Structure 1
Amino acid sequence: MGSESELVRGDPGQANGVESDRLEPQKGMNTVTRPRILVVGAGFAGVECVQRLERKLAPDEADVTLVTPFAYQLYLPLLPQVASGVLTPQSIAISLRRSRKYRTRILPGGAIGVDLKAKVCVVRTITDKIVNEHYDYIVLAPGSVTRTFDIPGLTDNAFGMKTLAEAAYIRDHVISQLDLADASDDPAERAARLQFVVVGGGYAGTETAACLQRLTHAAVQRYPRLDPGLIKWHLIDIAPRLMPELGEKLGRSAQEILKRRGVDVSLGVSIDKAGPEEVTFTDGRVVPTHTLIWTAGVVASPLIGTLGAETVKGRLAVTAEMCLPGHDGVFALGDSAAVPDLAKGQEGAVCPPTAQHAMRQGRKVADNVMAALRGQPLQPYKHKDLGLVVDLGGKDAVSKPLGVELRGLPAQAVARGYHWSALRTNVAKTRVMTNWLLNAVAGDDFVRTGFQARKPATLKDFEFTDTYLTPEQVRARVAGEALDQP
């Protein structure tokens, strides 16, 4: 693997990989010998930023720390293919510990609060210990969480599609519904277990419904007691069109593909109530089901709310250089930042929360952090969108690269080619390509691992949105630390 596509592992000089062995600064003083750069989040934005800092910083120019609960970068666009079993989980979980440089310290935990005035980030480690991490420069790339609404039963009964664990769990769950339906002699239970509801007509929801429908369609052939006609997939969205960013023609093409496969697409509809064994739509329909997958958009990480800074629709308001106004050394990007979209030339336009923008913003932020470190001028972020790709599984896809509308195999080639080229390491590329080829030749597997079968897996269980501190709690904790110092 080339050094350009590698990240780094924790500094062996760090005690337990969590506490820093450097001297902690006294209040109002900086006693360390090198500036401290803290990067929060190991998504597309955070990883690209750290990679560039690794390559461009002189060895003694700064210390770099990456805060992340998992020592891998998740290639999120391919998550539906993990849920459907086309790809293995390991193939899109790209390790951050494959470097030979050992420069960046990985702090295993999640940032739960930031005190901008004291320049302290509060981190809950994976052992639930809370530590204060001091910084001179901070890059906020905590990403986003699933957007939910105050719908009765939603967070208790719906599954999400935002983490690797959720995708793996959903695969087991869907296959288990076939097993349980096959074992049941109750026609009503059998019918309920073979109905599946996906909420969200964006890329995640459409690809999830498409990929999992293919899985169940292939799997049911191995269940001679089950009537394939009983399997019903519902894709619903409150918007009038699927994936409106693709344009009316391609959105309609995707909808026709799904309908041809037997997926019931309902637009202008949402969920009114979610129960453990049925879902009520806003148009009054009641669907008996044990599977509700919620993919109705994302919102910025709750970490942004701990800063007490200005936001735009929940995303941190930053300049075109991705700096937080009024706070030196604070940068924000990716899904959690409202970065002005200069390429559109429209007042108030911000970059959409896509991997394409996050990766390029990560590199630009790294350049601006180094420029600030060296007393040089910062440069604005500007990037023209290259287009969108949607993989519907098999030979079906719709894509719009550089404004050119494609369908079928050409669109599939573009979609998979783009995802393959965007993977960060050669190891990941090899694994993904091997999985694709094996699936194309040998077909799907229908193994239910059962690893997580007895663990909770609904929306409220995976994203830990209740672990963040309030701004007042952050300030109180930092103030308490200062009082404890001699």
Structure 2
Amino acid sequence: MTRPRILVVGAGFAGVACVRRLERRLSPDEAEIALVTPQSYQLYLPLLPQVASGVLTPQSVALSLRRSEKYRTRIIPGRAVGVDPKAKVCVVRTITDRVVDEPYDYIVLAPGSITRTFDIPGLTDHAFGLKTLAEAAYIRDHVITQLDLADASDDPAERAARLQFVVVGGGYAGTETAACLQRLTHAAVKRYPRIDPSLIKWHLIDIAPRLMPELGERLGRAAQDDLRRRGIEISLGVSIAKAGPEEVTFTNGRVVPTHTLIWTAGVVASPLVSTLGAETVKGRLAVTAEMCVPGFDGVFALGDSAAVPDLAKGDGAVCPPTAQHAMRQGKRVAENVIAALRNQPMRPYEHRDLGLVVDLGGADAVAKPLGVELHGVAAQAVARGYHLAAMRTHVAKTRVMTNWMLNALAGDDFVRTGFQARRPTRLKDFEDTDVYLSPEEVRRHVERAAAGPAA
């Protein structure tokens, strides 16, 4: 008898937690396990702002998928672009651009999310996102490049434009990005004697009435005060009306000359979810508390791309797209796949939120562990302790701790590594949102493949 095939899509927190639990709980004779992912690492996404600011090296937040004592999962280097639940086939576009079909008996969909954009003129052509390791490394090079070009320029208007930076998004990602990169430029400008430090201006804008509302009014105000004390201009109730290569227009009519627009205004589920033709909830796959997709045999979904009921909150709430939920959902869905294999009852997912941490760099941080509000050094200790505890390997923990200590003691050399090429690269170039198939295209592709070469 052939072994059942379990296919996991996505190597984020949810997908990797699922694979690791499957490897530990299933014997090699019980099932084949395969993982579809473009990269052979798990990205520790919450620390990307620190990669962009140079506090951490890119390698320190890229956790190898092969560093496991029980590693036996077949890694398929590519991106799932469509799923045919009736034929039980996942269509994969490999990193060499070949399209291959991967049959499965059970599929776990954890493709994560992509940057949420709107129909704003020039946005995808001129803005940076911060969802990938490449984007973080590129943004660091870009920011240092602006300092280099401003230092070399004799044109006051060009110099002023290159030294203004706009971050859109007052959530955790945007706030941490603005905070960390402002520290980078504040420290770097000391090495540029021709640049007046007062010309460097960071703008953090959001359409919401306050930053990070999930933290509560007191901690949100404390974070705002920290950022404003450091010279970051915060504009709330404002967004972007249009973006150009050398200026950004706010919705209040203000025009800011800048070469740097960083867009972190939320995320949406991966386009893969729309290829199934299944029911969705605000763009995320509708699933049961056991994370099964109703009406589709052997299909499970979790993480950012699934509207998993939050039983701890009740009242129809769904789990937010956070790392702590994704990791725990991954373990539970692995147990449910195993239960399905062994004809045992599945268990629902339930987890009470442990709180939130926001690292603003240096001694600045806010945190709310288990409902306790912390600010400053105590919050920083909690934030960094949480990140270290959440990292999967001891090697990664050691790299991150070493980076933190080295940066605190020796600072940064502000070196450009060459990612900033002559041809600009922006948000639309990093997230492959145009590679996915429609449900009809998936069905036609699978039917042609099943018919064979003669078709």
TM-score, normalization by structure 1: 0.92
Partner of 2:119: 150
From 214, 236, 253, the counterpart of 1:267? 236
From 249, 257, 260, the counterpart of 2:226? 257
Partner of 1:349: 317
Alignment of 1:277-356 (within 5 A): 277-346=246-315, 348-356=316-324
Q: Which amino acid aligns with 2:216?
A: G
Partner of 2:365: 397
Alignment of 1:351-370 (within 5 A): 351-370=319-338
String of CA shifts for 1:396-431, please: whole Å, max 9, x gaps.
000000000000000000000000111100000000
Distance in 1 separating the partners of 2:139 and 2:61? 16
Q: Which amino acid aligns with 1:397?
A: A
From 424, 441, 445, the counterpart of 2:392? 424
Distance in 1 separating the partners of 2:142 and 2:314? 46
Partner of 1:7: none
The structure-2 alpha-carbon separation of the partners of 1:462 and 1:279, relative to structure 1 and needing over 3 Å to count, comes to: same
Partner of 1:59: 28
Cα deviation for residue 98 of structure 1 reads 1.9
Q: Which amino acid aligns with 1:341?
A: D
Is 1:33 equivalent to 2:2 in the alignment?
yes
Q: Which amino acid aligns with 2:400?
A: V
Distance in 2 separating the partners of 1:58 and 1:198? 48
Equivalent pair of 2:82/2:442 in contact (CA under 8 Å): yes
Distance in 1 separating the partners of 2:70 and 2:228? 51
TM-score, normalization by structure 2: 0.99
Cα deviation for residue 455 of structure 1 reads 5.0
Partner of 1:449: 417
Secondary structure at 1:387 match in 2:
coil
Cα deviation for residue 327 of structure 1 reads 1.3
From 182, 192, 215, the counterpart of 1:213? 182
Distance in 2 separating the partners of 1:250 and 1:455? 41
Distance in 2 separating the partners of 1:52 and 1:208? 33
Partner of 2:194: 225
The structure-2 alpha-carbon separation of the partners of 1:332 and 1:237, relative to structure 1 and needing over 3 Å to count, comes to: same
Alignment of 1:112-127 (within 5 A): 112-127=81-96
Equivalent pair of 2:85/2:297 in contact (CA under 8 Å): no
Equivalent pair of 1:199/1:296 in contact (CA under 8 Å): yes
Q: Which amino acid aligns with 1:306?
A: T
Distance in 1 separating the partners of 2:327 and 2:69? 22
Deviates more, 1:440-449 or 1:63-72: 440-449
Secondary structure at 1:242 match in 2:
coil
Secondary structure at 2:86 match in 1:
coil
Partner of 1:78: 47
Distance in 2 separating the partners of 1:83 and 1:445? 14
Q: Which amino acid aligns with 1:453?
A: A
The structure-2 alpha-carbon separation of the partners of 1:455 and 1:329, relative to structure 1 and needing over 3 Å to count, comes to: farther
Partner of 2:57: 88
Partner of 1:469: 437
Secondary structure at 1:402 match in 2:
helix
Partner of 1:409: 377
Equivalent pair of 1:45/1:141 in contact (CA under 8 Å): yes
String of CA shifts for 1:168-207, please: whole Å, max 9, x gaps.
0000000000000000000000000000000000000000
Q: Give the number of aligned pairs.
A: 454
Cα deviation for residue 58 of structure 1 reads 1.4
Distance in 1 separating the partners of 2:5 and 2:82? 18
Structure 2 unaligned segments of length 5 or more: list them.
Answer: none
List 4+ stretches of structure 1 deviating above 6 A: none
Cα deviation for residue 59 of structure 1 reads 1.7
Deviates more, 1:440-449 or 1:403-412: 440-449
Cα deviation for residue 485 of structure 1 reads 7.5
Cα deviation for residue 452 of structure 1 reads 4.4
Cα deviation for residue 443 of structure 1 reads 1.5
Secondary structure at 2:368 match in 1:
strand
Distance in 1 separating the partners of 2:387 and 2:422? 33
Q: Which amino acid aligns with 1:431?
A: R
